[in-house]
Chain A
Amino acid sequence: MKTTTAKSLRVSKKEGVRKPILAFLKSLLTDAVFDAILIPMQVPAGDSYAWVLVKDPSLLDQANPLAPIMPVQGAKALKSLTRKGEGNLKIAAVMRPCEVRASVELAKLNQIHLESITLMSVDCPGVLPVADYFENPGESEKRFNAMLSENRWGNGSMKSVCQICEQFSILPSSDFHFGLMTGSESSVVLISSSPKGQRVLKDRSLDGSVSLSDWENGIESIRQERKKERTKRFREVQSMVEGFDGLLKTFARCIGCHNCQSACPICYCRHCYFGSEASKLDSDFILKKAEQRGGLSFPLDRRMFHVGRMSHMSLSCVACGLCSDACPVSIPVADVFSFVADQTQRTFDYKAGEKREEPLPIRQYRLEEIKGVEEWVKDAEGVES
């Protein structure tokens, strides 16, 4: 059983939620609860954000646990941090829930070492598409902040995947959580849900008399709205992408840059199969295909690459939407991938990144399952018929 402790931070209406969170994080650094904190920070020009591993507490003034965009997935930053093993520093990573989930998936894939890391999640209102933000960073900051302070969640200017995200709050896999959606708007709830998280709240002189029900109700009502929207959107995506022609129409303008794959936190392979020598076809085969089909269009892998990538990563897809942000020809990659991922994860009754102890579906099996393989009946565990 997990032990959960909750405390709260006072928030003045004028200041908003960021300041008290940052002050709290600062105290964790100065009191050596952590040796460093990984957190998004505005770049010097003020027109984007970067992940910074902060050692000097005063630097935290420029940090932003609720950056309006996600140019790099947090799990990617964490991956480079622990690429060569865990290290000796005690580090806190302050992330959006989808970044926590991607980190957990990468840990299962042996790409991140979480031993010395404390994952801290923040209630997430969503992020703006980077292209929209870059049009006018100053304006976008204002718009995003207004939305935060007015508690207008579920805002239509967020990325499309954010608008239908149901896992935007506390997760069984995070160590510590900052809950923002308090009914009174006057506090941030701090929830520790693992021994590592407990260390964070130990010895903090904070208001311990919090009732979580306001916050929980707030989260639940947003989740219900999102659920409805999700069903509706998935139906639209399905009618766009389904069938051989639908798939072709959706991806026909793909230029094969594979940016979606390089931005993906889950696609960790140092040598991606697609684009590798092994994936190249010999010219006789290509000529034969051209003859059969009357012609052959290049780059060759317009459909195969995307379906192939789905088979490799959809079980771990956290629907962060970085692939859509990365696409130079505005293909709604994330809408398609999150829809497919929803289905494949359902097939194995799995939710990417939600539980640390749950092994990856393709790394395990049950003796009796997926019966009647010869006439595919949807009877894998947890599948809705």
Chain B
Amino acid sequence: MEDQKQKEEFFPKIVGYLCNWCTYAAADLAGSSKMELSPSLNVIRVMCSSRVDYNLVLTTFFGGADGILIAGCHPGDCHYDKGNYYARRRYALLKSILETLKLDPERLQLSWISASEGKRYVDVVNEFTERIKKLGPNPINRNAYY
């Protein structure tokens, strides 16, 4: 019962690393079009999804964020030609580690959202938030070890 209650009250903290050239613009578009959006996402603007290195993701994860969203341009549309392909490989590596160690790999997501996809941005954020809500708080926060 207690657990159930806690889960209901749980409001996730999600960190979003958004590419300046596409997803960040999509977020802007969603805002200026007054679309409704879960306020769970703390946006950090990066110049490319490939800027998001392992240390950045892991600091966020071990720092206690409940979810991490990396979002960039669709394959083929990278502002720097191929940054998102490298981002995808790094993401695959991180996922593989989190999966192997069973550290809730679902808390990490990579999405492709172009500048014109304001609606898609809203859907991705809302769906991801729902998923994290179901997962509950990041277990890393359960004890005193970083």
**Residues in chain A within 8 A of chain B (CB atoms):** 238, 241-244, 246-248, 252, 273, 279, 285, 289-290, 292-297, 300-304, 307-308, 310-312, 314-315, 339-340, 343-344, 347-348, 361-362, 364-365, 367, 369-370, 373-374, 376, 378, 380
Contacts and interface: CB of A to CB of B under 8 A. Distances in A.
B139 interface: yes
Contacts of B88: 365, 369-370, 373
A-B complex: 5 closest residue pairs judged by Cβ atoms: A311-B54, A365-B85, A295-B144, A304-B62, A242-B102
Contacts, number: 126
Given A297-B146, A373-B112, A308 B103 contact: no
Given A244-B139, A289-B64, A344 B144 contact: no
A296 B144 contact: yes
Nearest to B128: A374
B116 interface: no
Interface string B78-95: 000010011011111111
Given A315-B93, A362-B90, A370-B89, A340 B101 contact: yes
Given A243-B103, A300-B146, A311-B58, A344 B96 contact: yes
Contact of A293 (B55, B59, B94, B143): B143
A303 B103 CA distance: 11
Contacts of A304: 58-59, 62, 146
Interface in B90-146: 90-97, 99-106, 109-112, 124, 139-146
Q: Could you say which of A285, A308, A361 has the most chain B C-beta atoms within 10 Å of its C-beta?
A: A308
A297 B143 CA distance: 9
B82 A303 contact: no
A309 B97 CA distance: 11
B96 A252 contact: no
B31 interface: no
Nearest to A361: B89
B140 A370 contact: no
A310 to B, nearest CB: 5
A54 B141 CA distance: 54
30 contacts: A243-B101, A243-B102, A244-B142, A246-B102, A252-B145, A279-B59, A302-B146, A303-B62, A304-B58, A307-B97, A307-B101, A307-B103, A311-B58, A315-B93, A340-B100, A344-B97, A347-B93, A348-B89, A361-B89, A361-B93, A362-B86, A365-B85, A370-B89, A370-B92, A373-B88, A373-B91, A373-B109, A373-B111, A376-B99, A380-B96
A311 B92 contact: no
B39 interface: no
Contacts of A293: 141-144
A289 B124 CA distance: 29
Contact of A339 (B100, B140, B144): B100
Contact of B96 (A247, A294, A347): A347
B146 A289 contact: yes
Contact of B58 (A289, A300, A308): A308
B39 to A, nearest CB: 20
Contact of A367 (B58, B85, B89, B111): B85
Would you call the interface of chain A mostly helix, strand, loop, or mixed?
helix
A292 B96 CA distance: 29
A128 B58 CA distance: 35
B94 to A, nearest CB: 6
Contact of A365 (B59, B82, B102): B82
Contacts of A290: 144
A380 B92 contact: yes
A311 B93 contact: yes
A24 B85 CA distance: 49
Contacts of A301: 146
Given A311-B93, A344-B93, A373-B110, A247 B144 contact: no
A382 to B, nearest CB: 11
Interface in B41-55: 54-55
A246 B100 CA distance: 12
Contacts of A361: 89, 93
Given A376-B99, A378-B99, 15 more contacts: A242-B102, A292-B64, A296-B144, A296-B146, A302-B145, A314-B93, A340-B100, A347-B92, A361-B89, A367-B76, A370-B88, A370-B91, A374-B124, A376-B106, A380-B92
A361 B93 CA distance: 9
Contacts of A244: 103-104, 139-140, 142
Nearest to B62: A304
A314 B99 CA distance: 14
A244 B146 CA distance: 11
B95 A376 contact: yes
A359 to B, nearest CB: 12
A300 B63 CA distance: 11
